[in-house]
Amino acid sequence: MSAAVVSAIRHRRHANPFTFRETIVRPDYLRIFRREAPLEVEIGFGKGQFLIAMAAARPQVNVIGLEIRDFLVEGVLAQAKARGLGNVFALQCNANTAIDVLFQPGEVARFYVHFPDPWFKKRHQKRRVVTPETAAIMMRLLAPGGEIHVMTDYEPIALDIRECLEGAGFVNTTGPGTFAPASTTGFTSEREDWHLSQGDPVWRMLFRKPLTSDG
Ligand SMILES: C[S@@+](CC[C@H](N)C(=O)[O-])C[C@H]1O[C@@H](n2cnc3c(N)ncnc32)[C@H](O)[C@@H]1O
């Protein structure tokens, strides 16, 4: 790799990804996947351990990863290509503003949000991936019975996400005001493995969109 390329990558890695301006256009998913299949979306996949393992084990679904950092998108696309996974697509975007353009109402079967950045400072909290606004959008984009799988290592964020999603009308599958006792997917993410190796608690939740408007 030339020094110029290395320098460009370093520059991009340190740039604040929230400052980039994007024009999001809905891709032609039928052309990309060459088939129709249930659509599952991971927001903020990081290095992609969960996304790749889950997509490899479940060839019957189409999986789309959304990530704000471009080099992570390149990394996951390279992994998918190396493993011959035709059911994986990844896209650089700020998911908070992009999902409404990327997906049509009722077409998403599952969202996954694993270890979202906590954004503790008040002025940055609007950057959180799960907010009352994005919860309402995900409700619209999910099919009836569609799911949101969540994991975090920060209890305040777990409580905030639970409040947002229960408040938006999602059914908390383990009961209102509770957390799931074990993995909701059977696949682990990098962050999850790291926290488990440190003996940290992991808060997990599985929400479902009601089948009908009256639940
Ligand atoms: C703490 S990491 C967790 C990575 C992975 N999910 C895991 O569990 O190992 C959070 C990831 O979310 C990405 N991210 C944060 N805000 C985002 C946004 N608005 N849209 C898309 N990706 C986002 C970050 O770039 C980062 O890769």
Confidence of residue 3 (pLDDT cuts 50, 70, 90): very low
Tell me the pLDDT tens digit for each residue of 115-152: 999 888 888 888 899 999 999 999 999 999 999 999 99
Model-wide pTM > 0.75? yes
The residue whose CA is least distant from atom 14 of ligand 1 is 44
Distance of CA 129 from the midpoint of ligand 1 (Å): 9
For the record, the structure tokens of 3 come out as: 């020094």
**Helix H or strand E segment including 75:** helix 70-82
8 A C-beta contact, residue 99 and residue 113: no
State the helix-helix crossing angle for 95-102 and 132-141, rounded to 10 degrees.
Answer: 20
Q: Residues 170-186: pLDDT tens digits?
A: 999 999 999 999 999 99
Residue that has been written with the tokens 């020094």 in this structure: 3
Distance (Å, whole) CA 137 – CA 104: 10
List residues with catalytic annotation.
117
Q: Whose CA is nearest to atom 19 of ligand 1?
A: 94
Give the Å distance between the CA of 117 and the centre of ligand 1. 6
Q: Which atom of ligand 1 is nearest to the CA of 151?
A: 8
Across residues 24-29, what is the average pLDDT? 96
Provide the residue ranges of all domains of the chain, joining segments of one domain with +: 38-208
Residue whose CB lies within 8 A of the most ligand 1 atoms, among 16, 24, 68, for a mutation test: 68
CA distances from 23 to 88, 97, 126 (A): 22, 10, 20
For domain 38-208, give the CATH superfamily.
Answer: Vaccinia Virus protein VP39 (3.40.50.150)
Closest residue (by CA) to atom 12 of ligand 1?
A: 44
